[in-house]
Chains A and B, each alone.
Chain A
Amino acid sequence: MKRFLAPLLGLLLSLVAVPTFAATTLTATSPPDGSGENLDIAWESSDSPAGWAVLRAKGAAAAAEDTWTVLKLLAPDAKKLSDKVTTDVWTDPPADAYRYELIALSKVPDLQDVEDATALVRASGSVAATATGNPQGSWFRTGLALKNYGPILMLLIILAVGVMMWKFTEDVRAGKEVFIRRIPGIDAIEEGIGRATEMGKPILYVPGIEELQDIQTIASMLILGQVAEKVAEYQSDIIVSCRVPIVREVADEVVRSGYFQAGYPEAYNPRNTRFVSSEQFAFCAGTNGFIYREQPATNIYLGRFFAESLILAETGFVNKSIQIAGTAEATQLPFFVASCDYTLIGEELFAVSAYLSRDPRLVSSLKASDWIKVFVVASILIGTVLATFGVPLVINLFSISGG
């Protein structure tokens, strides 16, 4: 009996003296297609502490000057954490390696106003697992690890558009005709300029309310150049109303260029290219003031618009102006359709410049994007059929994530 009693007692004592933490594994891995600023921390444990805490220190090996940082306190059922290792890559670039400690908390500490949070966290539990992670940035986003082929497809589409633009430009130069469907809204721009000239009234041009880097504002600036040239040819006046100062500066140069190209540089009046206000509705009120006071015969709204679209267009309607609008902002299109005589929908906005100039190189870009559209429509049809039968190939082809 004594033979069994001693080991049994020893076992019981060991169960009381040693904490009952089960085996815990901790991993710190760099996410695929990541920037090298993040590490995915994940752990598996059969233990059930009061909570988890994750600590981080720079470097692969322990050093005397190690500074541990408490990343986060987590709930008992938490299994992972995404750690951004730096907030400013200029002053604190990501290191080659980081060490992590997973603390199984016996009680959740209150870290508010605590001077040494690391010490408090350590005192509130014990180290369940450690891991070392090496953040690795990707120099090309493939999406392959996540089966998201979107980035590669996007690159191929851009290259395909570039190659097709070159091919179609060569075709046009060789004398091949390129068909562009008639877009009444664009034809109406010239009619509107003619009408304004006949009536002796100006044309109002609003390039949207977005910043210059917005692609719709850029497209609008390109169109403005063509419109200004036509206005100069007709010896009429154009008022450009801008919400963003830098857009006004560019618009000023673009309109000046239009007058120059038309051969009437002296006719340009820089005071007609106006900055109104950077506030949305103050800009709207100011532009409405132009419509009421200067009574333009034609109003052209091309660019990105938001809630002011209908206020502007309705004021123009009351003023009996011919109104031509164009935006890729789907939420504002119904307002323009309801209030304007002509509306350019989505992609038509980006086609105006090429349509007006008939420059073969610009026209070739329209044809190239039309072919990509054929590809997208075919992909939608094929993808719908495949997804119906449970094959996610086309869905993955167009998926973009990671980083």
Chain B
Amino acid sequence: MRSTLPLILTFVVGLFMVGEFFIPHWRYHMWTQVFLEWGFILAAAAYVLGLVNLVQVNLPKVLNKEQDWPYKLIMLAAIATMMIPGFIGGETRLQDGQMYKWLFDFVFVPLDATMFALLAFYIASAAFRAFRARNLEATVLLAAAILVMLARVPIGENLPVIGTKLVQFMNWIMDVPNTAARRAIFIGSALGAVATGLRIILGIERSHLGTDG
């Protein structure tokens, strides 16, 4: 029963939600929206469990002064630092002058942007390795990448004689081979997604059902 009931629920709800694509009537849509809202509520409730998990994983390491415990202490302190002003501010926490908003704007956003900015350096190091001309395929990749990069910057566009041709060639690479490959991936992925969805709805795939599945 512990595995049968989830299978029945998956089948019924899965089929009902697939029906949303084929049945546009508002009377049907209003119920699919209810299911979606239930999903959102469950997901929101799981944030409490996420917080519990964070504390469960990190607090013992701090108390036992395990390796790198100061980082975990900082993280737990950061959680409290954001959470307490959030609770105190309540619905007004996002208004100017509120501590939560200040912390968000002047601590969280710059840190977030810093992590994102690191991407530029990671791209450079990954590109350096990817563009080494080890074989024919890598050489073609290197040539295509150089041409596209050159055509995308003003200096490439303004090159005498070949500048315009370079941009046309870049557009061709992006519009024809690139788009063709991307569409092939999209079509394959979509069919894979349909097959995976059917496997779950029909109860063929059960590994997500837990220990009794």
Which residues of A are interface residues toward B (Cβ below 8 A)?
33-37, 89-90, 93-94, 137-141, 151, 154-155, 157-158, 161-162, 165, 211-213, 215-216, 218-219, 221-222, 225-226, 244-246, 248-250, 253-254, 256-258, 260, 265, 271, 273-275, 278-282, 284-285, 289, 293, 307, 310-311, 313-314, 317, 328, 330, 333-335, 337-339, 345-347, 349-351, 353, 359, 361-362, 365-366, 368-369, 372-373, 376, 402-403
**Closest residue to B54 on the A side, CB-wise?**
A275
B196 pairs with A222, CB closer than 8 A: yes
B49 pairs with A249, CB closer than 8 A: yes
A256 pairs with B211, CB closer than 8 A: yes
A347 pairs with B50, CB closer than 8 A: no
**Are A257 and B211 CB-contacts (below 8 A) given A245-B43, A245-B49?**
yes
B205 within 8 A of A: yes
B25 pairs with A138, CB closer than 8 A: yes
**Complex CA–CA separation, A351 to B50 (angstroms):** 30
Closest CB of chain B to A94's CB: distance in Å? 6
B199 pairs with A365, CB closer than 8 A: yes
Tell me the residues in window 20-35 of chain B with beta carbons closer than 8 Å to chain A beta carbons: 21-30
A219 pairs with B26, CB closer than 8 A: no
Neighbouring B residues of A351 by C-beta, 8 Å: 192
**Are A161 and B23 CB-contacts (below 8 A) given A256-B210, A346-B189?**
no
Main secondary structure, interface of B, reads: helix
Neighbouring B residues of A333 by C-beta, 8 Å: 185
Chain B residues with a Cβ closer than 8 Å to the other chain, count? 66
- Determine which residue in A219, A258, A347 has the highest number of CB atoms from chain B within 10 A of its CB, and name it: A347
B207 within 8 A of A: yes
**Closest residue to A312 on the B side, CB-wise?**
B122
A310 pairs with B119, CB closer than 8 A: yes
Q: Which of B46, B195, B200 contacts A369 (CB 8 A)?
A: B195
Q: Which of B110-118, B149-157, B161-169 contacts A (4 or more CB under 8 A)?
A: B110-118
**Complex CA–CA separation, A161 to B196 (angstroms):** 11
Neighbouring A residues of B49 by C-beta, 8 Å: 245, 248-249, 275
A365 pairs with B115, CB closer than 8 A: no
B192 pairs with A369, CB closer than 8 A: yes
Could you pull out 27 A-B pairs where Cβ atoms are within 8 angstroms? A36-B27, A137-B27, A165-B199, A165-B202, A215-B193, A218-B200, A219-B193, A221-B207, A246-B43, A253-B211, A257-B207, A260-B211, A278-B50, A281-B116, A310-B119, A314-B125, A317-B126, A328-B193, A338-B130, A347-B189, A349-B192, A351-B192, A359-B204, A365-B199, A369-B195, A373-B191, A402-B24
A141 pairs with B24, CB closer than 8 A: yes
Closest CB of chain A to B200's CB: distance in Å? 7
B126 pairs with A314, CB closer than 8 A: yes
Neighbouring A residues of B193 by C-beta, 8 Å: 215-216, 219, 328, 350
Q: Which of A215, A271, A289, A349 contacts B57 (CB 8 A)?
A: A271
**Closest residue to A259 on the B side, CB-wise?**
B211
Neighbouring A residues of B210 by C-beta, 8 Å: 253-254, 256-257
Contact with A along B35-59 (1 / 0, CB 8 A): 0000100110011111001101100
**Complex CA–CA separation, A154 to B197 (angstroms):** 14
Closest CB of chain A to B26's CB: distance in Å? 5
Q: A138-B23, A361-B199 are in contact. List 14 more A-B contacts (CB 8 A).
A: A137-B26, A151-B21, A162-B202, A165-B199, A218-B208, A222-B196, A222-B207, A246-B42, A275-B50, A289-B71, A293-B68, A346-B185, A365-B195, A366-B195
Q: Which of A161, A293, A310 contacts B198 (CB 8 A)?
A: A161
**Closest residue to B36 on the A side, CB-wise?**
A213
B194 pairs with A141, CB closer than 8 A: no
Neighbouring B residues of A213 by C-beta, 8 Å: 39
Neighbouring B residues of A339 by C-beta, 8 Å: 126, 129
B63 within 8 A of A: no
Closest CB of chain B to A16's CB: distance in Å? 50
B90 within 8 A of A: no
Closest CB of chain B to A314's CB: distance in Å? 4
Q: Which of A248, A253, A338, A372 contacts B191 (CB 8 A)?
A: A372
Which 3 residue pairs of A and B lie closest in terms of their CB atoms, listed nearest first?
A350-B192, A245-B50, A225-B207
Neighbouring B residues of A310 by C-beta, 8 Å: 119, 122-123, 126
B122 pairs with A278, CB closer than 8 A: no
**Are A222 and B18 CB-contacts (below 8 A) given A333-B185, A337-B130, A369-B192?**
no
**Closest residue to B118 on the A side, CB-wise?**
A311
**Complex CA–CA separation, A139 to B43 (angstroms):** 31
Neighbouring A residues of B57 by C-beta, 8 Å: 271, 274
